[in-house]
Amino acid sequence: MQKIIPSALIILTATILTACTHSDSSFDEQDGLSSFNKDSLAQHIITLASDQFQGRRPFTVGETKTVEYLTNTLRSLGVEPGNGNEYFQKVPMVEITPTCDPSMKVESARGNFTLKNMDDYVIWTENTDSIVSLNSEEVIFAGFGIVAPEYNWNDYAGLDVKGKVVVVLVNDPGFSLIDSTLFKGKEMTYYGRWTYKFEEAARQGAKACLIVHNEAAASYGFNVVQNSWGKSQQHLDTRGKEYRCAVEGWLTEPAAKRLLNTIPDGETLLAKANQKGFKPVLLNLKVSTSMKVKAVFNESKNVIGKITGTKRPDEYIIYTAHWDHFGIGKPDAKGDSIYNGALDNASGTAAILEVARAFKTMKNKPERSIVFLFVTGEEQGLLGSAYYAQNPVYPANKTVANLNIDVINNFSPTKDVSIPGGEGQSELEDYLKKELDKKGRYIAPEAHPEAGHYFRSDHFSFAKVGIPALTIGGGIDAIPQGKEYGQKQQELYNDNFYHQTTDQYDASTWKLEGGLEDTILLFQIGKKLAFETTWPQWKEGSEFKALRKNN
């Protein structure tokens, strides 16, 4: 007993010390909360998702109107310009339309054959040369195409792939074995995401990178690949700054097997790739194909506003939501061709405008600076946030946290919220948990850890440069209807509204109470951070921990 007393004292002292992270008593739990109301939230959504905004595609009239609306709203709220005297950051982009040869010629010692464009493979380019081609290039099967020192894994070890075509598998070795000791087991690490595969192949100097599609490992069918690529696509303008493979793309699994079978037992390599020490294999074949490229350069805009902190103005909390959507596209059966993107992501954009308004109404002004960043080009591949992360207005090592929202709940309050990708990345999750506890709410377990949801919205661009980043997703445990009802609502959205012309505001069915509560959560977390001197960290085992620069 005697020995316990002093250590109990130490624990008590330590508790007091960690509890006293507010630099003074100006933090007020209730401050700013009274400004939140769902009509104001709805009004922003109605405007941004109206047909006049034409689906908010970058480079269009829809962009001009959206940027103007966001800028005017920030100004009228009294939020300062976030980039010098300007409310925007220019984002140089390029729209690339490839016209591919109808087929790819394969020459091998076991005979020649062709693969069919769009049926057997889908390819594109980020190069802006007028013609991009593969001319009898050698092909290497490089397993998962992963270089991960922390897992002691290197699929490119001792290999020179410069100028060659690499074929790699989607996801990571942990998924295919469902072995919790490999990588993160079933949970997809960033090494499993398709964007990583192209980035790593480019770092290795490959000329082309083709990913073998597998529905379970990719978590979507080849039809999604066919619908998403092989047509006009926007990219960041990286001319002269960054090497990308000339050709990027996906192969169906049967097409990949035909390539692999140019060597004896080639097909078995698909299963061998998840064994430690797997060595890449040069296939006995050469491939040729080409595409004509139309490139249109243009500038899009991230919109950015700021409230300067009263005590630590050079420390920043950055809220993000993407303002863009798909614009005008293929008409649906009713002839509607406007992709209004009311939930995705007029709703998140509106939520951050409401957060900005709440911060402005606070009696005690935030001690750290609060930045509101509305990014462009998310639907084209997180372009606006990636550009910001690479060209930050505020230094990454002075950025305390990124809080992101992409789609809010529009059906009912819920007991739970989700963290896309699951828990375990950063201490921001502990802040979220504390706020949820106060309301008797909780974090729902991630239903599809293999899908890599953490890597699919703009907070991920911040994570990639080491800034702790949190995005919150809606829950399903509806009050009072329960989980089954909530699950059903989510399925309805995925099937009937997600990335379709039908994603429109509907006053007769939308209920924004739940979305408003989740918005308030994000506000409370940012407010707490704004009065603290602490720096939330990445958790042990997060692939982003090593990227955090000292602050």
Which of residues 344 and 477 has its CB atom nearest to Zn ion in the complex? 344
CB of 499 to Zn ion, least distance (A): 9
Side-chain-side CA neighbours of 372 within 13 Å: the count stands at: 30
CB of 112 to Zn ion, least distance (A): 44
Which of residues 385 and 414 has its CB atom nearest to Zn ion in the complex? 385
Within positions 78 to 117, which residues make up the interface with Zn ion, using CB under 5 A?
none
From CA 251, how far away is CA 445, in angstroms rounded? 33
63 belongs to the binding site for Zn ion (CB under 5 A): no
How many Cβ atoms are within 10 Å of 427's Cβ, its own excluded? 16
Stretch that binds Zn ion, among 107-115, 161-169, 404-412, 472-480 (CB under 5 A): 404-412
Runs of H (alpha helix) within 363-512: 383-390, 428-438, 459-463, 483-496
406 belongs to the binding site for Zn ion (CB under 5 A): yes
Which of residues 406 and 517 has its CB atom nearest to Zn ion in the complex? 406
524 belongs to the binding site for Zn ion (CB under 5 A): no
Q: Is-contact 233 122, C-beta < 8 A?
A: no
How many Cβ atoms are within 10 Å of 3's Cβ, its own excluded? 7
Which of residues 204 and 471 has its CB atom nearest to Zn ion in the complex? 471
Q: Which of 344, 429, 435, 518 touches Zn ion by CB under 5 A?
A: 344
CB of 324 to Zn ion, least distance (A): 9
Which of residues 53 and 156 has its CB atom nearest to Zn ion in the complex? 53
Q: Is-contact 21 533, C-beta < 8 A?
A: yes
CB of 217 to Zn ion, least distance (A): 23
Site string for Zn ion, 363-402 (x = CB under 5 A): ----------------------------------------
Stretch that binds Zn ion, among 107-115, 175-183, 213-221, 342-350 (CB under 5 A): 342-350
CB of 441 to Zn ion, least distance (A): 23
Task: Kindly report the backbone phi and psi dihedral angles of residue 371, in degrees, each rounded to the nearest multiple of 5, phi listed first.
Answer: -115, 135
Which of residues 207 and 453 has its CB atom nearest to Zn ion in the complex? 453
CB of 196 to Zn ion, least distance (A): 20
Tell me if residue 340 falls in helix, strand or coil. Answer: coil
Number of residues binding to Zn ion, judged by CB under 5 A: 3
How many Cβ atoms are within 10 Å of 72's Cβ, its own excluded? 11
Within positions 147 to 166, which residues make up the interface with Zn ion, using CB under 5 A?
none
**Considering only CA atoms, which of 348, 344, 396, 404 is closest in space to residue 526?**
404
Which of residues 237 and 344 has its CB atom nearest to Zn ion in the complex? 344
Which of residues 191 and 505 has its CB atom nearest to Zn ion in the complex? 505
The answer to whether the Cα torsion of 551, 420, 519, 355 is positive or negative is positive
What the block records as the tokens of 243 is: 């090497």
Q: Give the helix/strand (H/E) hosting 303.
A: strand 281-307
Stretch that binds Zn ion, among 183-191, 265-273, 275-283, 336-344 (CB under 5 A): 336-344
Within positions 234 to 273, which residues make up the interface with Zn ion, using CB under 5 A?
none
What the block records as the tokens of 285 is: 């074949």
From CA 140, how far away is CA 209, in angstroms rounded? 10
CB of 25 to Zn ion, least distance (A): 39
Which of residues 172 and 406 has its CB atom nearest to Zn ion in the complex? 406
Show the beta-strand stretches assigned E in 54-164.
80-81, 88-100, 103-108, 113-116, 121-124, 131-141, 147-148, 153-154
Task: Kindly report the backbone phi and psi dihedral angles of residue 59, in degrees, each rounded to the nearest multiple of 5, phi listed first.
Answer: 80, 0
CB of 321 to Zn ion, least distance (A): 9
CB of 339 to Zn ion, least distance (A): 12
Can you spell out the DSSP letters for 374-385? EES-STTTSHHH
Q: Are strands 121-124 and 153-154 parallel, antiparallel or unpaired?
A: unpaired
DSSP 507: T
CB of 352 to Zn ion, least distance (A): 13
- Please count the helices (runs of H) and the strands (runs of E) in the chain: 15, 21
DSSP 423: S
The owner of tokens 């009294």 is: 78
Which of residues 233 and 533 has its CB atom nearest to Zn ion in the complex? 233
Single-letter amino acid, residue 440: G
CB of 474 to Zn ion, least distance (A): 12
Single-letter amino acid, residue 1: M
Which of residues 165 and 236 has its CB atom nearest to Zn ion in the complex? 236
Which of residues 348 and 475 has its CB atom nearest to Zn ion in the complex? 348
CB of 350 to Zn ion, least distance (A): 13
Which of residues 63 and 155 has its CB atom nearest to Zn ion in the complex? 63
Stretch that binds Zn ion, among 85-93, 132-140, 291-299, 344-352 (CB under 5 A): 344-352
Task: Kindly report the backbone phi and psi dihedral angles of residue 455, in degrees, each rounded to the nearest multiple of 5, phi listed first.
Answer: -95, 10
From CA 280, how far away is CA 297, in angstroms rounded? 38
CB of 343 to Zn ion, least distance (A): 8
Q: Which of 214, 345, 347, 426 touches Zn ion by CB under 5 A?
A: 345
From CA 549, how far away is CA 63, in angstroms rounded? 34
Q: Is-contact 449 376, C-beta < 8 A?
A: no
Within positions 282 to 301, which residues make up the interface with Zn ion, using CB under 5 A?
none
Q: Cα angle vertex 65, ends 526, 371, to 5°?
A: 20
Which spans of this chain sit near Zn ion (rule: CB under 5 A)?
A: 344-345, 406
